[in-house]
Amino acid sequence: MAAPIPTSATTPVPSTGQAFGRGLRDSLPFLLVVIPFGMVFGVVAIEAGLTVAETMGFSIGVFAGASQLAAVQLMADNAPIIIVIATALAVNLRLAMYSASLAPHLGSAPVWQRALVAYLLVDQSYALAHEKYEANPKMPLPARFGYYIGSVTLIVPLWCAASLVGAILGNRIPAGIPVDFAVPITFLAVIAPMLRTLAHVAAAITSVLGVLLLGFLPFNLGLLVAAVFALIVGARVELWLTRQQIGQG
C-alpha cells in the first residue's frame, strides 16, 4: 500500500543549536566593519586622554560603539560633562527602540536571558535578529534566543579585541590605512534595510538635514537637536499614515 502523499510541505523547526549556528554565520559579514570600528574607538579614546585600562573598561562596560565614540570625541574637545552624558544617551536612544521592537519576540524569555540580550544589544545583531524573527514568526523561543546569542558570539570578543589593539597602537596606525571607513559603513548596512515605510524615510532625511544644517553648534549639539526633530517628524508621518488608512477603511 502506497504511503499517503502529504498535502502540504512543513517548514522544519530549527533547534536551538541550529539557530545559534545560523546566527553565527549570518554575523560574519559584519566583522569586516566591527573590527576597524573597534580600532577607531581605541585610537580616539587614547587620543582623548584615556588609559588602555580605561578604554577597555569603557568598551566592556558600555558596549555601545557609536555612543562611546561620540563621548570620547567630546571629551577630547573638553566638552562639559553634562554634554558628554546627554550626547551618549541621545545616541543610545535607538537601543530603547530596538528593545521595544524585540520585546514581542523575546519578551517571554527568562529574566536572565532578557538581561543578557539587553547588555549585548548592538546594531548589527539587532538588524539580523529582527529580520529573522519577522521572516519566521513560528520560530520557537529557545531558537530565537539561540539565534541572537549566535549573532553576537563573534562580534563581542572581536569588538573588545579591536578596541584593545587600537588603544595599544594609538596613533601608530599608518594614515594610509582607512580604518575610519567602518563607522559610516556600519550604520549604512544596518539602517538601509530598515527604511521600509514613509515614516522611516522621513525621520532619516530629517536627521541628515538637521545634522548638516546645525553643524555650527558647539560640542555636536546639532546631533541632539536633529535626533529630536527626526523623532517628531517620524511620529507625525506615522500618525498621518494611520489616519489615512482609517479614512480609506
**C-alpha atoms less than 13 angstroms from C-alpha of 101 in its C-beta half-sphere:** 19
Three cell numbers written together for 56: 577597555
Question: Residue 70 — very low, low, confident or very high, per pLDDT cuts 50/70/90?
Answer: confident
pLDDT digits (tens, 9 = 90+) for 213-236: 887 877 667 777 887 888 788 888
Q: Is the pLDDT of residue 173 over 70?
A: no
Residue 195 has a pLDDT of: 62
Full-prediction pTM beyond 0.75? Answer: no
Measure the CA–CA gap between 19 and 227, rounded to whole angstroms. Answer: 35
Closest CA to 63 of 88, 44, 99: 88
3-class DSSP assignment, residue 54? helix
**C-alpha atoms less than 13 angstroms from C-alpha of 175 in its C-beta half-sphere:** 0
pLDDT digits (tens, 9 = 90+) for 132-145: 998 898 899 999 99
Question: Residue 36 — very low, low, confident or very high, per pLDDT cuts 50/70/90?
Answer: confident
Measure the CA–CA gap between 146 and 116, rounded to whole angstroms. Answer: 12
Q: Apex CA 244: angle with CA 242 and CA 246, to 5°?
A: 70
